[in-house]
């Protein structure tokens, strides 16, 4: 009888759990205090603050349906990202199918090239902190038709990701030509990346053409040199010839390292952005993440950036990152 | 001892599950690619994209408290519905009580008449696709005081639904006269529908007066003719005499069918909208839904519509619908 | 073997439950119908309507990471609070750590003084109803740089709450000087409250300086006089000398009572707000909450308010409150 009761309790618990298992809530909160040369001390998001809802449905025969609806917000003000300028589900809103053929999704999200780039930057392309994201992409903007956009996403997109083939994966994003934000795409934008990730080595190559026909390509590589040390590097170039008659090209590169010190990790990077006919912008960045658990860490970062016109900016920040 | 451990594990799981059982997350994502005569290929929501939170509390004696807070969004851009023009909880935000007397709720939601109409249209009044919704309601707008409104909801409403009495149900919505959107209601808007749903037959009759005193009535019926075939029909009329001196009336009707073909269903419909003194708008629509599971299907739709001034529009779409 | 199956089922259920236990959904819906002298009958939020997501992670050694992301909305229209004027996570968006040292959080939320005040008002500072909130704070606004703000929160804040020391607790909020809303703080705003809560007695003292350097202080006390009767009182003063040359001070006080009558409770309060050189505003308020469960109650409220220029306003409301 006791056994029966237990079994019933199990079924009850499993029943409820099953009823709720269609949706998983996930996310991250990250807030930091920062001080930059010439600016007042302020509070901002160090990394993306997200509250996401996702689900996977097994359709049988290896086929799955899946969706993501992922909010982004500013933790310091409680608004949707960028002071309310961005969509509610800024992170992504995609629905699609996954199977032997790979994965096809419709909606909004990071372009194939932008999604592939984060693994080759020491801060994992955190939203702010000392992350070298602008150096990774040579100031390229995937989404120039939306004022205040996050510069790395497309709306009205179709995503294809190949299956993982011995570490190799192909990723494609196609956009429609429909009007959006401040204009209509000149042509269908597209983004293609190829990634290889096996053992200690990862490499990527990507090419993208945005809605105003800026052309962008990128190469990236990383290596787990020792159990403690990971090294990263990227080289990228954009060509704004379609909208800019003079000096349309910009080159960018950066190298980085993560060094595990047991209780946390040290992050370091250096990079340059070189627009045609303009002096380079250069940044040296250093950070430390102190792990409180697998889901939570405290961090400090500092960087020194030299840019034409702006001059030298020193930045310091301290913050907390919590995933759920 | 092992048994005890199991029991504890069970209690633990049940405890957590119980703690979360106050709220159920539900929703739907639906994205499609569509091409219409004279328009570029674009991505839109085929049906409502929603992320809802609901709960029911048993108060004893047959009484229950219940709430719904239901977001709507555009999957192609990640914004709240209609490019951010609509409320966060556009789907509904209602709280109330249910008991032997029926159900009373306060808040925002579909009017009684609009909520009853969806069962008499072949696409279940999907948001776009080839759905005949405008033919069902003869272009009537329940909510003319909100620019960009979904035309079928009221804010500041009180809902009453009678208990189901041998298949018969009475539904009433009353609105306040408080200022909203672009104006103040001329009188308290109200909406009344009676529905009968028993065995293979369903019928409805509804009458509604909106905030600017447009009068609307509708009749609907459906029959499950064979195990595979369901037929639907509606006839409706609106009278805009309160705001339009000349030709204030518009009539609309449509007939539809759903035919189950095992792996999915075929949908078909034809309808006309006839405003006083203006030529009719006519649409013939056809669709197919291919079931991947009870929660997920792929679809294709096509329609041909002839309207005065606009001329002939052909529309084709293909999409995916996933419920969670 | 059967035992093994049960164990697996348990693990399965526990696994799912564990996966979801990082986030707890909580909230409240509250809608009421109200009629005030000179206004049409309308529907509004009686108390805060919230949908919150929170989590606590045990980091070991008494240390915890915690977060809150709490939406607020208008149930009558479905928009984010105040017709969409306020942030998505208007309730709060905070992340931080808790330990022996107390609790430190970063983000947005009620100021220390505002958070402490609610326990000394008969309606618990419900959003509207007959709550005496403006009397508690003498019309003070913590957040004057945001048009349409809720007047009691700060963005870009750091919160410290001491541990509970024999009923005594110290609470501090510090704000940055960064630009926000319609301006930049003149100085770092800060808010300090000390609370004592032991047995039948609770008292508080608070001092706050807002971003435009308005100074505010408050004293509050409550006593559970009998098992049925709780009495509350507050006295507060604000000094707007930094922005207002003439008559900068405003005083406010109120007394209240909650009387438990078994099936619910009676609420009563009286208060005055006295700005320098202007006649006082006075309110007498009465309410009744009828409990349907620990999570749900129905209520009626009435108040009579006499204010200079406006004259006498009588208000009546009836509503429902449901927590989840």
pLDDT number for residue A64:
98
Closest approach of chain C CAs to the CA of B109, in angstroms? Answer: 9
Per the listing, tokens 């029943």 go with A15
Paired tokens of C274: 């006295």
Selected residues 42-71 of chain C with any CB under 8 Å from a CB in chain B: 42-43, 49, 51, 71
What value does the mean pLDDT take over residues A203-228? 98
Q: What is the pLDDT of residues A111-142, one digit of tens each?
A: 999 999 889 999 999 999 999 999 999 999 99
Per the listing, tokens 């969706």 go with A67
pLDDT at C3 over 50: no
pLDDT number for residue A21:
61
Q: What is the pLDDT of residues A33-90, one digit of tens each?
A: 999 999 999 999 999 999 999 999 999 999 999 999 999 999 999 999 999 999 999 9
| Range scoring the smallest mean pLDDT among B12-16, B99-103, C92-96 | B12-16
Per the CB < 8 A criterion, the answer to whether A146 and A182 are in contact is yes
Nearest to C59 among A6, A71, A296 (CB): A296
Continuous segment of H or E residues that includes residue C11: helix C2-20
> Which of C276, C270, C283 has its CA nearest to residue C310?
C283
Interface residue of C15, C77, C81, C298 to substitute, partner B, most B CBs within 10 Å: C77
Per the listing, tokens 């190469």 go with A219
pLDDT number for residue C10:
35
Q: What is the pLDDT of residues B250-309, one digit of tens each?
A: 999 999 999 999 999 999 999 999 999 999 999 999 999 999 999 999 999 999 999 999
Q: Reduced to 3 DSSP states, what percent helix, strand and coil does chain A have, rounded to the nearest 5?
A: 10, 55, 35
Grouping H, G, I as helix, E, B as strand and the rest as coil, residue A101 is coil
**DSSP code per residue over B113-149:** HHHHHGGGSTTTT-SSTT--HHHHTTT--S-TTSTT-
| Interstrand relation of A24-36 and A42-45 (parallel, antiparallel or unpaired) | antiparallel
Do the Cβ atoms of C71 and B88 come within 8 Å?
Answer: yes
**Portion of chain C with pLDDT greater than 90, in percent:** 92
What value does the mean pLDDT take over residues B107-123? 96
What value does the mean pLDDT take over residues C187-199? 97
Interface residue of C8, C22, C152, C186 to substitute, partner A, most A CBs within 10 Å: C22
Spatial separation of the C-alpha atoms in residues B112 and B118, rounded to whole Å? 11
Nearest to B12 among C14, C26, C33 (CB): C14
Q: Within an 8 Å CB–CB cutoff, is residue C31 touching chain B?
A: yes
Nearest to B6 among C6, C73, C77 (CB): C6
Grouping H, G, I as helix, E, B as strand and the rest as coil, residue A90 is coil
Q: What is the pLDDT of residues B232-267, one digit of tens each?
A: 999 999 999 999 999 999 999 999 999 999 999 999
Per the listing, tokens 């040579």 go with A138
Q: What is the pLDDT of residues B51-94, one digit of tens each?
A: 999 999 999 999 999 999 999 999 999 999 999 999 999 999 99
Mean confidence (pLDDT) of chain A = 93
Grouping H, G, I as helix, E, B as strand and the rest as coil, residue B274 is strand
pLDDT at B310 over 70: yes
Spatial separation of the C-alpha atoms in residues C63 and C100, rounded to whole Å? 7
Closest approach of chain B CAs to the CA of A217, in angstroms? Answer: 25
Q: In A, which residues are within 8 Å of C108 by CB distance? A: 75-78
Q: Reduced to 3 DSSP states, what percent helix, strand and coil does chain B have, rounded to the nearest 5?
A: 10, 55, 35
CA A239 to the chain's CA centroid: 22
Closest approach of chain A CAs to the CA of C155, in angstroms? Answer: 5
pLDDT band for B1, please (50, 70, 90 cuts): very low
What value does the mean pLDDT take over residues C170-185? 96
What value does the mean pLDDT take over residues B22-39? 97
pLDDT number for residue C2:
39
Spatial separation of the C-alpha atoms in residues B32 and A107, rounded to whole Å? 9
What value does the mean pLDDT take over residues B150-165? 97
What value does the mean pLDDT take over residues C197-226? 98
Its sign, for the CA torsion C70, C76, C78, C82, is negative
Paired tokens of B149: 């409104």
Domains and their CATH numbers in chain B? 26-323 (2.40.160.10)
Question: What's this model's pTM, rounded to 2 decimal places?
Answer: 0.94
What value does the mean pLDDT take over residues B208-215? 98
Mean confidence (pLDDT) of chain B = 93
Do the Cβ atoms of C79 and B88 come within 8 Å?
Answer: yes
Per the CB < 8 A criterion, the answer to whether B181 and B175 are in contact is no
| 8-state DSSP, A120 | G
Q: Within an 8 Å CB–CB cutoff, is residue A173 touching chain B?
A: no
Q: What is the pLDDT of residues C4-54, one digit of tens each?
A: 333 333 333 333 333 446 899 999 999 999 999 999 999 999 999 999 999
pLDDT band for B7, please (50, 70, 90 cuts): very low
What value does the mean pLDDT take over residues A265-286? 97
Do the Cβ atoms of A67 and B20 come within 8 Å?
Answer: no
Do the Cβ atoms of B79 and A97 come within 8 Å?
Answer: no
> Which of B284, B289, B283, B285 has its CA nearest to residue B318?
B289
pLDDT number for residue A7:
36
B165: CB partners within 8 A, 6+ apart = none
**Portion of chain B with pLDDT greater than 90, in percent:** 91
ipTM given for this complex: 0.92
pLDDT at C170 over 90: yes
A256: CB partners within 8 A, 6+ apart = A120, A121, A122, A123, A132, A231, A232, A233, A267, A268, A269, A270
Closest approach of chain B CAs to the CA of A66, in angstroms? Answer: 8
Spatial separation of the C-alpha atoms in residues A31 and C319, rounded to whole Å? 38
pLDDT at A101 over 70: yes
Q: Please report the number of interchain residue pairs, chain A to chain C, with beta-carbon separation below 8 angstroms.
A: 140
pLDDT number for residue B6:
37
Mean confidence (pLDDT) of chain C = 93
pLDDT number for residue B117:
87
Q: In B, which residues are within 8 Å of A145 by CB distance? A: none
Q: What is the pLDDT of residues C50-78, one digit of tens each?
A: 999 999 999 999 999 999 999 999 999 99
B225: CB partners within 8 A, 6+ apart = B200, B231
What value does the mean pLDDT take over residues B99-128? 97
């Amino acid at each position: 009888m006791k056994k029966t009761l237990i079994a019933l309790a199990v079924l009850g618990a499993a029943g409820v759990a099953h009823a709720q298992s269609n949706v998983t809530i996930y996310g991250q909160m990250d807030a930091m205090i920062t001080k930059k040369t010439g600016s007042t001390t302020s509070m901002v998001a160090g990394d993306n603050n997200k509250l996401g809802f996702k689900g996977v449905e097994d359709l049988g025969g290896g086929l799955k349906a899946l969706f993501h609806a992922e909010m982004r917000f500013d933790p310091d003000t409680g608004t949707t990202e960028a002071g309310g300028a961005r969509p509610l589900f800024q992170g992504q809103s995609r629905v699609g199918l996954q199977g032997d053929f790979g994965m096809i999704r419709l909606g909004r999200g990071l372009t194939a090239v932008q999604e592939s780039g984060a693994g080759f930057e020491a801060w994992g392309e955190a939203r702010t902190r000392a992350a070298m994201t602008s150096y990774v992409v040579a100031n390229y903007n995937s989404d120039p038709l939306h004022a205040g956009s996050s510069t790395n996403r497309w709306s009205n997109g179709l995503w294809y990701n190949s299956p993982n083939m011995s570490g190799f994966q192909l990723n494609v994003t196609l956009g429609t030509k429909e009007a959006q934000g401040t204009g209509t795409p000149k042509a269908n934008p597209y983004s293609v990346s190829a990634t290889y990730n096996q053992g200690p080595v990862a490499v990527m190559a990507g090419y993208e053409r945005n809605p105003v026909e800026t052309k962008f390509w990128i190469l990236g590589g990383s290596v787990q040199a020792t159990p403690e040390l990971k090294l990263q590097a990227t080289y990228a170039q954009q060509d704004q010839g379609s909208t800019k008659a003079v000096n349309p090209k910009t080159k960018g590169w950066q190298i980085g390292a993560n060094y595990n010190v047991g209780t946390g990790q040290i992050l370091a990077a250096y990079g340059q952005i070189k627009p045609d006919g303009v002096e380079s912008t250069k940044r040296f960045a250093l950070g430390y993440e102190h792990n409180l658990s697998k889901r939570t860490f405290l961090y400090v970062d500092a960087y020194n950036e030299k840019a034409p016109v702006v001059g030298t900016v020193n930045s310091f920040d301290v913050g907390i990152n919590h995933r759920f």
